[in-house]
Amino acid sequence: MSIRGYFITLEGGEGTGKSTLIAGLAEALQSRNIDVVQTREPGGTVLAERIRSLALNPPENQTWSPLAHALLMNTARDDHLQKLIRPALERGRWELCDRFSDSTRAYQSVDGLRMETLIMLEKMVLAQTSPDLTLVLDGDPASLINRRETRGTRDVFEDKDLDFHTHIRDTFLNIANGAPERCAIINAEQSPGQVLAQALNVIDDRLSGA
């Protein structure tokens, strides 16, 4: 009988360094002979990547309502879970995912959708597949402006004003503080090496066999 792998998600606002951390974690865990899968949301499968493009970069002058955005994210997530995440976990692989359901809670609630609606959708899609550990990268949005601008990527959320990003930060912290058994908050304003070291310490502390 195979041993189920661990499901680790990375969350946080724009420019907090999730992409850098996930690459560092994958390399570090692979050096321990752990079979790692890197993925992202929205995305991770052919159909989910198509939804990502449509949701984050809609045609010019077109916008989605908060409910439509939430439905798109959950549609992509359902495909992602069925075709990549669950099969990988069942084979004993470790899944590292750049954003997951907490991002939908944060962004769509700040955008105006009721949290109760988001949680209802989340329960329907996730079923029993929830992260074993969520690393929440936290930093002052005002301090991370340069990071966001130098990345050269734009989408409907990155283009929001500072007040929006500040509310996103607060929502992620509320989510993390409300689920301390699953979430660990990491200071994203440290150097990449310090962030990686702290994340690995959390993994070693929280997940047996790491």
Q: What is the mean pLDDT of the chain?
A: 93
Could you state, in order of their start, the residue ranges of all structural domains in the chain? 7-206
Helix (H) or strand (E) holding 132, with range, is: none
State the DSSP code for 45.
S
Per residue in 69-80, pLDDT (tens digit) is: 999 999 999 999
Q: State how far the Cα of 97 lies from the Cα of 14, in Å rounded to an integer.
A: 15
> What is the pTM (predicted TM-score) of this model?
0.93
Positive or negative: CA dihedral 97, 65, 14, 109: negative
Per residue in 17-45, pLDDT (tens digit) is: 999 999 999 999 999 999 999 999 999 99
Q: State how far the Cα of 39 lies from the Cα of 99, in Å rounded to an integer.
A: 9
Provide the angle, in degrees to the nearest 10, between the axes of the packed helices 66-80 and 46-56: 160
* CATH architecture, domain defined by 7-206: 3-Layer(aba) Sandwich (3.40)
Spell out the alpha helix ranges (H) of the chain: 18-30, 46-56, 66-80, 86-90, 101-110, 115-126, 145-151, 162-178, 192-206
Q: State how far the Cα of 144 lies from the Cα of 153, in Å rounded to an integer.
A: 14
